Amino acid sequence: MIVFPNCKINLGLYVTRCREDGYHDIETVFYGLPFTDVLEVVPATETKLHISGLPVAGDQTTNLVWKAYELLKEKYPVKIPALDIYLYKAIPMGAGLGGGSADGAYLLRLLNDYCQIGIDNETLAGYALQLGSDCPFFIYNTPQLATGRGEKMTPITLDLSPYSIQLICPAVHVSTGKAFQMLTPRTAPFALEKLNTLPIEEWKNHISNDFETPVFTQHPELAAIKQQLYTAGARYASMSGSGSAIFAVFNKGQKAEIKTEVEFKEFYT
């Protein structure tokens, strides 16, 4: 059985509070894009995780796909068989696109279907939260207003399919933990639940990503890429998550020709 875990972008991202448990409260809109990894399971005598494509940091036990398998195996030991799990990585890591979170959440979904367990989405989302704060989004995988650590989600009606989205993924790894340390929490300057009522050409005047200021200070080449996107006619451009990916929303069929000394991957809808 094969599935294709997709990435997400953040439309607006405000860090509003440093919590006593060490996490931060945020407000953002998660929006999925059709740039994917590949995840497959086949019957085996012993469970193994095989990773190809882009290199993945850490060992097997720290990978969210492996953790997702172990989580469901513990809860449903009779239903979850031994499997060869094949993960092909195409979504860059450390880019603010949630690729690892998507992989873990999709493995939960895949096992639920493959093993015919019958877990409802709400319960799956609860399991996904044990893997990471933004993992539950990929259980629903529809536009969501996210608050709390990112796990409290409310569906929001938003469709960017009439536009083209250009996603630039520079070879710059931004540590999420370090990015949080570089910013000061603040009250959200815009109510993101109203995002879908705001004309897209006004987004740049009302919504922003709190991580951009500290990350762009450390990596001015990212700010330069964002400016090139606007110069080429983007209706809206922003960094996703804590970076380093930069995306832009264009009129259908338009895009920018990016010039930078930094190596990058590009995706386009």
Catalytic residues: 8, 134
What is the token pair recorded at 124? 């799956």
What is the token pair recorded at 62? 């720290």
As beta bridge partners, residue 39 has 3, 87
Crossing angle of helices 64-75 and 99-114, rounded to 10° = 30
How many distinct helices (H) and strands (E) make up the chain?
8, 12
Q: Report CA torsion sign: 137, 140, 207, 20.
A: negative
- The number of angstroms, rounded, from the C-alpha of 43 to the middle of its chain's C-alpha atoms is 29
- Going by C-alpha positions, the residue among 129, 196, 106 that lies closest to residue 158 is 196
- The number of angstroms, rounded, from the C-alpha of 200 to the middle of its chain's C-alpha atoms is 21
As beta bridge partners, residue 65 has none
Query: What are the backbone angles phi and psi of residue 79, rounded to the nearest 5°?
Result: -85, -25
Cβ atoms 93, 173 nearer than 8 A: yes
CA dist., res. 107 & res. 103, Å (int): 6
